[in-house]
Amino acid sequence: MDFLPQNISDYAEAHTTAEHDLLKKLNRDTHLKILQPRMLSGHLQGRFLAEISHLMRPRRILEIGTYTGYSALCLAEGLVDDGKLITIDINEELETFTRSFFEASAFAHKIEYIIGDAAEIIPTLNEVFDLVFIDADKMNYTKYYNLVFDLVRKGGYILSDNVLWSGKVANIQEGKKIDKDTRNLLDFNKMCHDDPRTENILLPIRDGIMISRKI
């Protein structure tokens, strides 16, 4: 999932503010106790998401795909005083673990954690978002993008994670079969790039983040 040579990525992490204690514990405990820990954003991407949030000072953030809450806690850092982050995950088995970290954080009162299918929850949200982070099942990225689009303010951002899909989207070979998730992400990236309502940059950090700004 990491495209940078190991020494470069080690050096970048070594010169990036360390994870504070709660995130370090969340990272460690997720690896010890939870399935598929590589889904967690991790140190470098986490600091990137936090920095975006500090730059923007958002009032409303929506996250689709909480997992154990690592990216939610990073994104919450820059929220204004009366700001709120809504995060949705369909996996109720993660709820107790994840909620305990939200409650231990300084952002407990700013995080609304909803268990359910994002495709069903999003249409019920009565908010205008400054920032949306799409990071759930890759099959439904286009659906999530279309569902959230009208809820994002002009000048707001949609960040979509894992759009390089371990590099697979850039390794298409004639005559070779393309797996389903890769196909979905190819279509999603093209749709984002062709959308005249946004300006976009595909940032090759970690597994690739599509940054779309609504113009």
Q: In the complex, which residues of this chain contact ligand SAH (CB under 6 A)?
A: 39-41, 65, 67, 70-71, 88-91, 117-119, 135-137
Q: Which tokens in the block code for residue 84?
A: 């709120």
β pairing state of 209-214 and 152-161? antiparallel
Closer to Ca ion by Cβ: residue 27 or 162: 162
What x/- string results for residues 81 through 120 when contact with Ca ion is judged by CB under 5 A?
----------------------------------------
Q: Which two tokens stand for residue 19?
A: 């994870």
Which residues are registered as beta bridge partners of 63? 87, 133
Q: How far is the CB of 162 from Ca ion (least distance, A)?
A: 5
166 binds, options ligand SAH, Ca ion, none, Cβ within 5 to 8 A by partner type? none
Q: Which is nearer to ligand SAH, 39 or 152 (CB)?
A: 39
Alpha-carbon span 27 to 68, nearest angstrom? 9
Quick one: which of 142, 134, 128 has its CA closest to 193?
Answer: 142
Q: Of 137 and 195, which has the nearer Cβ to ligand SAH?
A: 137
- Residues that contact Ca ion, how many (by CB under 5 A): 3
The least distance separating ligand SAH from the CB of residue 178, rounded to whole angstroms, comes to 21
Pairing label, strands 129-134, 60-64: parallel
Using rule CB under 5 A, residue 77 touches Ca ion = no
Strand partners of residue 210: 160, 202
Rounded to whole angstroms, the Cα distance separating 42 from 45 reads: 6
CB 156 within 8 A of CB 131: yes
Site for Ca ion contains 63 (CB under 5 A): no
Task: Kindly tell me which of 79 and 155 has the beta carbon lying closer to ligand SAH.
Answer: 79
Residues of the shown chain interacting with Ca ion in the complex, contacts defined by CB under 5 A: 135, 161-162
